[in-house]
Amino acid sequence: MSTQLSSPSATPVAATPPPAVGGLRGLLADWSSDQQAFKVSWGKAMMWIFLLSDTFIFSCFLTGYMTVRMSTTVPWPNPSEVFALHVGGADIPLLLIAIMTFVLISSSGTMAMAVNFAYRRARRECAMLMLVTALFGMLFVGMQAFEWTKLIVDEGVRPWTNPMGAAQFGSTFFMITGFHGLHVSCGVIYLLVVATRVLRGRYEATGNYQIVEIAGLYWHFVDLVWVFIFALFYLW
């Protein structure tokens, strides 16, 4: 009786993929293995969700501000006088605010160029532009600190009182601009961390520089919110 041996040159049988698991257990298994549920990476999807929730918060703050301003019977302070900057013996209305807005809008341009260089895998140029963006952010926060100091020390504005008119001015102004300033400060730290990693070649092995785009989404959102704050607080 002969024993039949399998030929070593036989074609190997392809491994059968494990069956898909349904229900809640399958959902958790997919998410824990970094599956793409929204046709985008998890990092970008989570940033969009965070920005959507932040949009609701800022919308509530600005809606509350408009409601308080329109309902108060005490005259609201004139922004052209409150935020005037004394230069050369004359008060120039909204000069500091115009510079702050120019700096923040310019930072959006440098951030967009950083994303462009990131996808071209020019990590040095990308990191430098991110550092410039962070520098613009620090400059903006510094000017905002100067503005707060001027209002508190020179004008006597407090969250609970305001010698120039409606008392609600101080509470709404410090709350909304302070919350936005906190976002800018966190964004500066975020950009510095990502720029340092890009400069050190952290993402060079995989070639995945999408983290730069995700940071850019956050920064552009901060800039967009400032446009609404600028229009409602300083121009209205």
Q: pLDDT truncated to tens, each residue of the chain (236 aa)?
A: 444 444 444 444 444 555 556 677 766 666 666 555 557 778 888 999 999 999 999 999 999 999 999 998 899 998 888 888 888 778 888 899 999 999 999 999 999 999 999 999 899 999 999 999 999 999 999 999 999 999 999 888 898 888 888 889 999 999 999 999 999 999 999 999 999 999 998 888 777 889 999 999 999 999 999 999 999 989 88
What pLDDT sits at residue 30? 63
Q: Which long-range contacts (CB under 8 A, 24 or more apart) does 148-153 make?
A: 148/174, 148/177, 151/82
What's the pLDDT score for residue 219? 97
pLDDT of residue 204: 81
The answer to whether residue 11 sits within a structural domain is no
Return the number of other C-beta atoms located less than 10 Å from residue 80's C-beta: 13
Beta-carbon count within 10 A of 210 CB: 16
- Mapped onto helix, strand or coil, the DSSP state of residue 90 is strand
Please answer whether residues 197 and 203 qualify as being in contact, where contact means their C-beta atoms are separated by less than 8 angstroms: yes
Residue with tokens 């807005």: 101
Contact in structure between 224 and 108 (CB atoms under 8 Å): no
Closest alpha carbon to 219 in 101, 96, 51, 61? 51
**Inter-residue contact 85 to 107 (CB < 8 Å):** no
Domain containing residue 139: 40-235
Task: Evaluate whether residue 220 is within a structural domain.
Answer: yes
| Residue 54, domain member (yes or no) | yes
Q: What is the pLDDT of residue 20?
A: 59
From the list 88, 134, 94, the residue with the least C-alpha distance to 110 is 134
**56 with 49: CB under 8 angstroms?**
no
Whether residue 159 contacts residue 148, with contact meaning beta carbons closer than 8 Å, is answered with no
Beta bridge partners of 92: 85
> Tell me, what's the pLDDT at 3?
44
Mapping DSSP to helix (H, G, I), strand (E, B) and coil, where does residue 13 land?
coil
Strand duo 85-87 + 90-92: pairing: antiparallel
Alpha helices in 150-167 (DSSP H): none
- CA 107 from centre of chain: 12
Q: According to the model, what pLDDT value does residue 140 have? A: 97
For residue 70, the domain's CATH number is 1.20.120.80
Instruction: Tally the domains of the chain.
Output: 1
Assess if residue 170 is contained within a domain: yes
Domain membership of residue 105 (yes or no) is: yes
pTM of the model: 0.82
The answer to the question of residue 223 being in a domain is: yes
